[in-house]
Amino acid sequence: MKRAVLALACACQFMVILDASIVNVALPAIRDDLGFAPAGLPWVVNAYLLTFAGFMLLGGRAADLFGHRRTLIAGLLVFSASSLAGGLAGAPGILVAARLAQGAGAALLAPATLAVINIYFTAEHARARAFGAWSAAGGVGGMAGAIAGGALTTGLSWRWIFLINVPIGAVLTIVAARSLTRAWAGRREPLDLVGAVTGTAGLAALVYGVMHHDWPVTGAGLLLLAVFVAVEARVTGPMIPLRLFRIRGVAVGNGMLLLFGGIAIAMWYFTSLFLQNAYGYSALRTGLAQTPAAVMFVVVARSAAALLPRTGARTLVPAGCACFVVGFGWLAGSAHGTGSGYVTGILAPTLIVATGIGLVFPSLMAAATAGVGEGDAGTVGGLANTASQVGGSIGLAALSVAAGGAAGTDDYRTVFLIASATGAAIAAASLLLPRGVARHAMEVR
């Protein structure tokens, strides 16, 4: 039964991450078929990311109130139905609306998968291995996006990048209904509507603002989040109980996940641009050039799961951050115009950075979700996913500003140097983590 639960959680995580990137290579075909205006086409990507990040906290809280099994199945149904609508879309507005709904479904799925891992895998070694597999599934999803999107668009139609989710979602729904018999059933408690509105709207405004460099909207998002925190401190049944932040792993781990999101963006997004703009690679060749690093991440993430119970996050995170400092420093040297070829200028340093990501990501996710009861597992899972996603959005905006639009190699050098310094900052913050993954956080209630 545990194997089925883990396979279900990993498959859902794979599908959620895959659909964040699978549309990228299909955008030209979508534009030509549906007649998208240039300004509207990016919303095929942004609509999904916006609701995915914005609704994650609400999705996590819904899992704790209405049950992890019900929420996961609801997420699968919403995700599958919106995928069907997207695949059949005949106009730009319909496709964007479908992508908004798809992101909302993903926001229900992601925290629920973390919650069921916490519930079904209580032993520290088993939980660490499960987190390693879950992290690796996300890595494979990100890696497979460009390949699967290209294959489906070329061999069939761009519509199949959405329609393929329908039979997969149906199978996963059946597996969830049959395997999640021990999942948290929920509790009778009203939803904090004011907190839900201010938190969701604040996150959505923040993510939208940083994605589009719209600073008034970003400021409005921050203001709404400040109101959200004030509400949560006073309401009887808060969407995010502030007592959870008394768990050191939850508080520190989520803060570090915000920084880590920027690291991951710097790795995949800016090295992709660097390969195309500085090395002259095509989109396909760029994807193939990044594949070794993606494979390295998957392998290391699985290995980190075996090491985590013995060493703890306070050992693996600094080790991974050392890889960030070295790898990004190396990439900065390549961007400075050393004349290095692909192997020495790109492949070697990205393999080092990917090793760091594989060590750090599962360690932080385990630390940020440890030490909570079944009734808070969905909330904490949503919080950790939100921290990573919002950190990535903020990191992308900040690094894009630092790169000045990444018009030249010196701009990439600045990005990689900032990423290297961020790795050092995460290493310093890791000293605040509990010495074990979960052992020192169990006193919280």
**pLDDT at position 441, please?**
36
Rounded to 10 degrees, the C-alpha dihedral 48/54/59/65 comes to -160
Q: What does the chain come to in residues? A: 445
Range of the domain at 196: 192-238
Most confident segment among 87-96, 140-149, 172-181, 285-294: 87-96
Is it the case that residue 439 has pLDDT exceeding 50?
no
Domain boundary among 238, 254, 270: 238
**pLDDT at position 408, please?**
47
Q: How far apart are CA 422 and CA 428, in angstroms?
A: 10
Same-domain pairing of 204 and 304 = no
**Tokens 């993510």 — which residue?**
207
Q: How far apart are CA 66 and CA 302, in angstroms?
A: 32
pLDDT averaged over the chain?
80
Tell me if 261 sits within 8 A of 395, measured CB to CB: yes
Q: What is the pLDDT of residues 339-382, one digit of tens each?
A: 578 888 889 999 999 999 989 888 888 888 777 666 666 677 77
Same-domain pairing of 431 and 294 = yes
Tell me if 148 sits within 8 A of 81, measured CB to CB: no
Same-domain pairing of 291 and 432 = yes
**pLDDT at position 101, please?**
93
Same-domain pairing of 156 and 286 = no
Q: How far apart are CA 302 and CA 293, in angstroms?
A: 14
Q: What is the pLDDT of residues 298-312, one digit of tens each?
A: 888 878 877 877 787
Q: What is the pLDDT of residues 220-242, one digit of tens each?
A: 989 998 998 888 888 877 777 78
Q: How far apart are CA 81 and CA 419, in angstroms?
A: 39
Same-domain pairing of 41 and 153 = yes
Is it the case that residue 333 has pLDDT exceeding 60?
yes
Q: Which residue has the higher pLDDT, 167 or 274?
A: 167
Domain boundary among 167, 185, 203: 185
Is it the case that residue 293 has pLDDT exceeding 70?
yes
Other Cβ atoms within 10 Å of 385 Cβ, number: 29
**Tokens 């396909």 — which residue?**
284
Is it the case that residue 38 has pLDDT exceeding 80?
no
Tell me if 226 sits within 8 A of 352, measured CB to CB: no
Mean pLDDT of 390-407: 70
Same-domain pairing of 404 and 303 = yes
**pLDDT at position 407, please?**
45
Tell me if 327 sits within 8 A of 421, measured CB to CB: no
Same-domain pairing of 330 and 418 = yes
Report percent pLDDT > 70 for the chain: 86
Same-domain pairing of 376 and 273 = yes
**pLDDT at position 373, please?**
65
**Residue 252: which pLDDT band, with cuts at 50, 70 and 90?**
confident
Same-domain pairing of 92 and 146 = yes
**Residue 43: which pLDDT band, with cuts at 50, 70 and 90?**
confident
**pLDDT at position 405, please?**
52
Same-domain pairing of 58 and 175 = yes
Alpha carbon separation from 443 to 121, 328, 435 (Å, rounded): 19, 39, 15
- Residue 264's CATH number: 1.20.1250.20
Number of domains in the chain: 3
**Residue 119: which pLDDT band, with cuts at 50, 70 and 90?**
confident
**pLDDT at position 404, please?**
66
Q: Is 84 exposed, middle or buried (0-12, 13-18, 19+ CB in 10 A)?
A: middle
Is it the case that residue 338 has pLDDT exceeding 70?
no
Same-domain pairing of 31 and 104 = yes
Other Cβ atoms within 10 Å of 314 Cβ, number: 17
**pLDDT at position 321, please?**
92
Please name the residue ranges forming H helices in 266-347: 271-277, 283-311, 313-335, 342
Lowest mean pLDDT, pick from 113-117, 188-192, 320-324: 188-192
How many helices (H) and strands (E) in the chain?
Answer: 19, 0
Q: What is the pLDDT of residues 12-23, one digit of tens each?
A: 888 888 887 777
**pLDDT at position 372, please?**
67
**pLDDT at position 25, please?**
67
Same-domain pairing of 196 and 338 = no
